[in-house]
Amino acid sequence: MDSTPIKIKLFTPDGLQISWNDGHQATYSHAYLREHCPCASCRDSPPVVKTTSDAFPIFGKGPIQLTGATPIGHYAIQFTWNDGHSTGIYSYNYLREICPCNQCRMENQE
Amino acid sequence: MGIFNRDIAVDETLVLNALRGVYDPDLKKDIVSLGFIKNLRIDGGKVSFRIELTTPACPVRDQLQAESQKAVAGLNGVESVEISMGFSVSSRMTPHASTLIPGVKNTIAVASGKGGVGKSTVAANLAVALKSFGAEVGLMDADVYGPSIPILMGATDPPQVFGNRIIPPISQGVKMISMGYFLPKEEAVIWRGPMLHKMVQQFLGEVEWGDLDYLVIDLPPGTGDIQLSLCQTIPLTGAVIVSTPQDLALEVASKAIAMFKRLKAPILGIVENMSYYICPHCGQREEIFGYGGARAASETMGYPFLGEIPLNPTIRKRSDSGQPLTGEGEETPISRSFRDIACATAAQVSIANFNAPADPIIEG
């Protein structure tokens, strides 16, 4: 319930990696994180996240990219994206809740 | 020193080992491991050192001094022990926060669920009491809707502003900022969230706070934009929850506690205000809002109980006339109860800093 990350690696080949204080290792693709943005406007209408470039770049901005992160208080982290979006404040508890690994998914479904 | 008494020569290891037997009851560790021993000097049989505590008003200060004295004086070969006591307030500010308030070591939010329980009175007297212990203190009035700090502190002249730097007025040695300074009396703040967020950031970042041991932050009641902005802008050292003893107030206070818990801001403890009333005519004690409710609640929830303050006309009069009750030289039962609360709060800050889990390392 009360999870705290020890280390957050923003850019690994698989996306963002978190080592939790209970030993759990979590990997989130950047697109997955952006899809799960908890900010009010994204909750209202979830973003369509592109992971590949369009054939005609003029129709889209290309794949979503994480550009940076800022810690928020003691409880959360805020991500900035290449499309300018930065209003999502991801609490550590929320990040743990949306951990995409099989084990966590099963536990959360129960 | 002759060769024959070399076996009883006092050395550093011997003294430090003796001091390892002295425990700080708050931090539950010996004072050597905690790094409290400074300037240890040994000159033959004369030993002198300084004990540097992490709070200016450690309730166990005298006890630690006496125990250390005893531990070292009992060593073979020690003729005299000279101990000076001091403090250096600990801090757990993150590098990110320290760009905004670089000189501030600790931030203490004074919060409640319900309004009208005496948050601002507690905040003002807490700040002045901490100052009277010798700490450097600031007081930020984050209650934009009902800014009362200028009146409580008796300093209503507006601060000087140079460009985007605000020089905070000083009263009772405490630096202060309040929305009350920027608004005409009859005006009100009618703002939505983003404006409130901006105000919180400016009150922190654009005020010349300088070096502070404690920045006491008086919050508006409830769990709204200002509380959230504050917890997002800086990592709070902790929150002091003020409540009156009746069930209704405690019920709402538990909402504030739940919010701080969610935002991972430690609860330093609970203060019970308006605990009881002593009738000035017959001396009978009347428990208007019930008594001991906050103490009982803090025990149930597992948070420290910081102390209680009676309902008393003197507090009202002194508050309205801008004279906090905890300035230097104030020695009344009321000033003592406020000071005990400040003492307990400082101890809890030191414990919170000691126990705080490390913030995650973020790697690019």
DSSP letters spanning B110-166: EE-SSSSSSHHHHHHHHHHHHHHTT--EEEEE--SSS--HHHHTT--SPPEEETTEE
Tens digit of each residue's pLDDT (9 = 90 or more) over A72-86:
988 999 999 988 899
Tens digit of each residue's pLDDT (9 = 90 or more) over B282-321:
989 999 999 999 999 999 999 999 999 999 999 999 999 9
Reported ipTM: 0.81
Query: Same structural domain for residues B238 and B322?
Result: yes
- pLDDT of B155 > 50? The answer is yes
Q: How many domains does chain B have?
A: 2
Flag whether B113 is in a domain. yes
**Mean predicted confidence (pLDDT) in B181-189:** 87
Q: Which of B231, B265, B363 sits opposite A9 (nearest CB)?
A: B363
Flag whether B363 is in a domain. no
Contact status of B363 with chain A (Cβ, < 8 Å): yes
Q: Which helix (H) or strand (E) holds B205?
A: helix B193-205
Whether A69 sits inside 8 A of B362 (CB atoms) is yes
- Minimal Cα–Cα distance from B237 to chain A, Å? 10
Among B62, B87, B112, the domain-final residue is B87
A30-34, B41-45, B212-216 — most confident range? B212-216
- Minimal Cα–Cα distance from B43 to chain A, Å? 46
Q: Which of residues 79-108 of A touch B (CB under 8 A)?
A: 89, 91-93
Chain A residues touching B233 at Cβ < 8 A:
73
Chain B residues touching A65 at Cβ < 8 A:
none
Flag whether B361 is in a domain. no
Q: Strand runs (DSSP E) across chain B, as ranges?
A: 23-24, 29-30, 37-43, 46-53, 80-87, 107-111, 137-141, 160-162, 165-167, 170-171, 174-178, 214-218, 238-243, 267-273, 277-278, 285-286, 305-309, 361-363
Flag whether B290 is in a domain. yes
Among B87, B104, B126, the domain-final residue is B87
B356 to chain A: closest CA residue:
A74
User: What CATH number has the domain bearing residue B237?
Assistant: 3.40.50.300
What domain range is B300 assigned to? 95-355
Contact status of A14 with chain B (Cβ, < 8 Å): no
- pLDDT of B4 > 60? The answer is no
> Domain ranges in chain A?
5-109
Chain A residues touching B359 at Cβ < 8 A:
71, 74
- pLDDT of A57 > 70? The answer is no
Contact status of A22 with chain B (Cβ, < 8 Å): no
Domain A5-109 carries which CATH code? 3.30.2020.30
Tens digit of each residue's pLDDT (9 = 90 or more) over B79-122:
999 999 999 999 988 776 778 899 999 999 999 999 999 999 99
pTM for this structure? 0.89
Whether B362 sits inside 8 A of A10 (CB atoms) is yes
Instruction: Give residue B3's pLDDT.
Output: 47
* C-alpha A81 chain-centroid distance: 10
Query: Same structural domain for residues B14 and B73?
Result: yes
Whether B357 sits inside 8 A of A21 (CB atoms) is yes
Contact status of B238 with chain A (Cβ, < 8 Å): no
Query: Same structural domain for residues B82 and B100?
Result: no
- pLDDT of B335 > 80? The answer is yes
